[in-house]
Amino acid sequence: MSALPMPAAVPSPLRRPIIDAAFRADPYPSYAALREAGPIHWSEEFFGGAWLLTRHVDVEAVLRDAMRFSAQRTGGWVMQSAAARSELRDFQQLFARAMLFVDAPDHTRIRGVLNAGFRSDVLQQFVPAIERRVDALLDAVDADEGFDFMQALARPLPAEVMAMLMDIPVADRGDFIAWSDDLATFIGAPMPSLEQARRARTSLLAMSSYFEQLVPQRRHAPGDDLVSRLLRAEAAGDIQPGAELLAQCAMLLFAGHETTRNLLGNGLRALLADPVAWQRLRHEPARLPGAVRELLRFDSPVQYTGRRVAADLTLHGRKLCRGELVVALIGSANRDPMRYEQAERLDITRRPGGLLSFGAGPHVCIGANLTLMEAEIVFRRLLHRFPQLSLVDTQPRWSGNAVYRGLNDLMVRQARQGVAS
């Protein structure tokens, strides 16, 4: 495919590059400046050139409009150079088959197979097991001395829960977090390096190889898990064997891990930075479901996503050409003052309608209910067991991933005089 002509340069509203160390630590001042300057901007910092949408109304419209904005966007992303085209071909072929990156009718078909596994009634069956696992992880920490919440719970739990839904043996779960980290680094880089792509390839192929060995066993002894659902759909002709089947297995583990991990970390930090909010939840636990949604709005685990323009169009006076990339800035949209009153303030009593942290439209996150359920369980157990929890370090170390905003660590401690009520 020949290179697309670059749009006429549009000056950045910022005097510094958009993506720098300050942005990676706190992107919200940059988002505010972009929104103030206008609803759409061209930036060459994202994937070699992309249109940035800053406001809630436009981000939501693009995510809902699958006819004009395509999710099929992995080709140029993976195959950035001639050297990469042959080396990464197998990575691209597998990556591009994942439900995240396909349009209707394939997306509709694949999603229809998996939807039943994420129904609320199905997920509720896992609540006792998740609660037990959360308690076991918390039993292992020394809250009085302080512990790293990310390493103790936020990192391992989401991968273990998704493995539980897929009925992956406990002994086999250790590698999934490392594989997920490599994929997240690649997806989260505005301009992925060849080395990042190579690591992501190695990890995605390792995931695929694992499932290639698991699938024959599950065919012989199927259950009600997500892998068995995919295999029954394969037998019915609703899922294609080979790459399509393996891609769904791998991406379920990855996507289910990244969003939940960062919601747990970002959310706990935001709550502990506002002790009034933490204590209010302690005394008014019925507010927890709404508070989790507000935490998603306030500091979204997924900061942006991309779409390709399916046909030439004009948006806010700018001509967008077929094949160009549009970056929908979810983190900016969630703090748009035209959509939310006092949008820069955390308000656990808020009812944040129109929340875009899980996306919108056909590609809205299939595991949203699972993520919300896990977060409510974790925060409820923390509030009960460690009611006087506080931050040890008020200067967090962020991962630096521009897409998957999250913490490297989060040191917390229970005040010694705290007594659970």
pLDDT in tens, 119-146: 999 999 999 999 999 999 999 999 999 9
Over residues 66-81, the pLDDT tens digits come to 999 999 877 666 766 5
If one compares 205 and 394, the residue with the highest pLDDT of the two is 205
Strand bridging mode 147-148 / 411-414: antiparallel
Question: What's the CA dihedral at 332, 151, 255, 328 to 10 degrees?
Answer: 10
Q: Residue 345: count other Cβ atoms within 10 Å of its Cβ.
A: 11
CA distance 140 to 125: 25
> Per-residue confidence at 9, pLDDT binned at 50, 70, 90?
very low
**What mean pLDDT do residues 186-206 have?**
88
Interval 152-161: pLDDT, tens: 999 999 989 9
Task: Locate 277 and state its tokens.
Answer: 């909010």
**pLDDT reported for residue 305:** 94
The C-alpha angle 156, 159, 164, rounded to 5 degrees, equals 120
- 21-414, which class in CATH? mainly alpha
| Interval 319-335 mean pLDDT | 96
Residue pLDDT, tens place only, 155-181: 999 989 998 999 988 777 778 888 888
Give the model's pLDDT for residue 337. 97
Q: What is the pLDDT of residue 48?
A: 81
- Whether the per-residue pLDDT at 282 is higher than 90: the answer is yes
Q: How many residues does the chain have?
A: 421
Going 33 to 38 to 40 to 43, the CA torsion angle's sign is negative
CA distance 254 to 275: 33
pLDDT score at 70: 95
In percent, the amount of the chain with pLDDT more than 90 equals: 65
Q: List the chain domain ranges.
A: 21-414
Is the model's pLDDT at 150 over the cut of 90?
A: yes
Percent share of the chain, pLDDT over 70: 93
